[in-house]
Structure 1
């Protein structure tokens, strides 16, 4: 006779509840500093600029909170590391509107609210991790064995359909496997009890930020085509931002070009044919970071690859590569609608031809515009070998499948971190 473990409903800690997090944050970050100031000087309660600042703080805090919650849903995201940039952007946007509208506000109240908002969610993140680590129960059968390789999760391996693990975030099963009737009833019962049930492929992608490429994979809309509306909106935003950046950075770009010409003979701009949006070739522009050499026909592919410690890289070129400044001329490609700020990196045509033969579905990565930075770059860095390129495709396919403003925002934040660390440069 099997012993059935009774499962109590999984109750969320108070710190995980949206109402507590948001209302608590508003009270701590917005109302508390205002109340302290009013207690010191009661006449401040009648000041219009303080009232406007409180209202603006509520709006900025709310935008920051829901943006932070969305960002935290993506894999590989250390939530505490994105609290500051998320709230800095939300507060910056709201108070920039107020500043441009020439509305008076309290700078002290605004700064206090931003600082306390960051402090509140930083502490909540630490407490949440300690109170309730992420845990998943696993139904045996199919391709669930590979879950053991994924860290950062408490895996509970079920051995019997009568076994119910208490307090788990969900149940994982290979829903395409030939499961027994008992296990199928178990999965149905867990779903009816309100416990999330995930397909192993879904949870693997969510936790690793990669999509397997044994075959083409549909997105959440049931299609392999990314959101066409967002492609158009993103293109318009890219064009405006790139044109503005070109105007502002023009003196710096000219100075860098002059320094390159003075350091070594050759053109300041490196041009290379690469495969882009829709599988069409285009010329990409970068600052030249290597000495000029004449490629031999037999070594075209090897010359297109930069190896660690490549002797062709100049001293100035090494700095430009590490800081990613060498990518700035690609603003021209964005203005010409050949590239985007964010997307899979465009490969040299000679490399694309090689990978298209060696790797299945390689050309699918060209279904969106290539970018200056991308999901693969912030996770993996620079790659050169076929095995590394296969790994890169896992990340590129994940980006295409989850193509959205939120994932682009995450990549922007992680790109800033990459710029500071020099991760992946050669």
Structure 2
């Protein structure tokens, strides 16, 4: 039996001349491969977003480098561009994430941070260069993202045996089934195999020779995880999850950041909360705040707070478990409730749960106690999701949306396991950006 690598290299999905569509000249192929290199993207961004506006404004010979305002703008722009590029590349490494949607907010954050430093330190800076640099940086990396999406089409061979054929429905690559161990794989970028399968000696030699020849060989589980953002496990194993416990240092740092941010939000939005509560009371009978017992961190039960979005009559649904499930077009939802759910404003009172240390801004969504107990009976390892604090938003919410049936919950569990395995500030930042998009589009709301 062959052993799988625990991780897939981050550059594993950069195209080669063999998997790019059409016939092109050697110069075109060189350009295409260079486009996917980090140093080319970064240096190109500096030239396009900093050097170019300088030349357009001052020409080749008259750039006033001695000007402190211009020097500060150049240094600040370079710092904002490089730090933004670092975040940009880290975020688009995650599945289902294309840089097209994230260039504006990421670089707005880095350029905005530099601008705050300028204002705080009262440093003079060239507004022309700094503003032009931000706009051109966004344009550059948006164009890079579009080009990467258009050119990144992978030809991946599937070795027969085990569960490798289950990848065929995934649209993320151009799959080629390998039927003969003597088949030439030079036209393929990589091959994938179920490395837990007991291959014959002939197929083991084929896989080994393919790897030795320089063609990447991926295990089906790790490739599926990389392409889908879901971690499907059959048994709890440190080899599957990387570690059964997430990074404890980041857990503590995240809790501190969560608490401080929640305190700021409560202080600033208290009048807004009062207006929403009044509107809820005017529309229908019952309290403005909905309270429900949820299963939380380390399996502890806590009371979750939300703005009430449904009629409060309990006789609408008699079964306790059915009352905890929100179905599509649920007739219990009020007119204002539909808006609050679509924009996720109904979740904001959970800042109180964050202040009490029961929740986080980002994490697996806490389930109602009856549902959680039901899921634990139906789904293996469901309780493992309680190893991190539940969140107002999470990876499953932004990737999948609202779920109710056991099959959907199992898929949601796979997203939760992916989040726990890849528990990091980078993934949390990405979820925040996806959550903002969700609030604007209403994806997954019920």
Q: Deviations over 1:111-158 (max 9, x none)?
A: 211111121122223333444523322222211110111112111222
Contact 2:317 2:323 in 1 (8 A): no
When residues 41 and 333 of structure 1 are mapped into structure 2, their CA distance, relative to the original with a 3 A threshold, is: farther
- 1:72 is matched with which residue? 92
Contact 1:218 1:401 in 2 (8 A): no
- 2:260 is matched with which residue? 240
Alignment partner of 2:218: what SS? strand
CA drift at 1:168: 4.0
Contact 2:242 2:421 in 1 (8 A): no
Give the alignment of 1:271-310 within 5 angstroms: 271-294=291-314, 299-310=319-330
CA distance, structure 2, for counterparts of residue 168 and residue 425 of structure 1: 41
CA distance, structure 2, for counterparts of residue 253 and residue 410 of structure 1: 27
Contact 2:84 2:107 in 1 (8 A): yes
Say whether 1:210 aligns with 2:230.
yes
Give the alignment of 1:9-24 within 5 angstroms: 13-24=33-44
CA distance, structure 2, for counterparts of residue 425 and residue 189 of structure 1: 49
CA distance, structure 2, for counterparts of residue 191 and residue 177 of structure 1: 17
CA drift at 1:62: 0.8
Count of residue correspondences: 420
Range that drifts further, 383-392 or 275-284? 383-392
Contact 2:241 2:421 in 1 (8 A): no
CA distance, structure 2, for counterparts of residue 289 and residue 273 of structure 1: 17
Range that drifts further, 355-364 or 210-219? 210-219
TM-score under structure 2 length normalisation:
0.88
When residues 127 and 290 of structure 1 are mapped into structure 2, their CA distance, relative to the original with a 3 A threshold, is: closer
Alignment partner of 1:369: what SS? coil
CA drift at 1:186: 3.0
Alignment partner of 1:46: what SS? coil
Alignment partner of 2:314: what SS? coil
TM-score under structure 1 length normalisation:
0.92
- 2:153 is matched with which residue? 133
Give the alignment of 1:18-417 within 5 angstroms: 18-39=38-59, 42=62, 44-166=64-186, 168-218=188-238, 222-294=242-314, 299-417=319-437
Q: Deviations over 1:343-389 (max 9, x none)?
A: 11000111111111111111111111000001111111111222221
Alignment partner of 2:59: what SS? helix
Q: Deviations over 1:311-356 (max 9, x none)?
A: 2212211111111111110001011110001111000111111111
Contiguous gaps of at least 5 residues in structure 2: 1-15, 20-29
Contact 1:75 1:207 in 2 (8 A): yes
Range that drifts further, 24-33 or 87-96? 87-96
CA distance, structure 1, for counterparts of residue 220 and residue 398 of structure 2: 25
- 1:3 is matched with which residue? none
Range that drifts further, 194-203 or 411-420? 194-203
Question: CA RMSD of the aligned region, Å?
Answer: 2.3
Contact 2:73 2:129 in 1 (8 A): yes
Range that drifts further, 158-167 or 64-73? 158-167
CA drift at 1:220: 7.2
Contact 1:322 1:425 in 2 (8 A): yes
Range that drifts further, 136-145 or 166-175? 166-175
Q: Deviations over 1:21-67 (max 9, x none)?
A: 11111111111112222229936433211111111111111111121
- 1:4 is matched with which residue? none
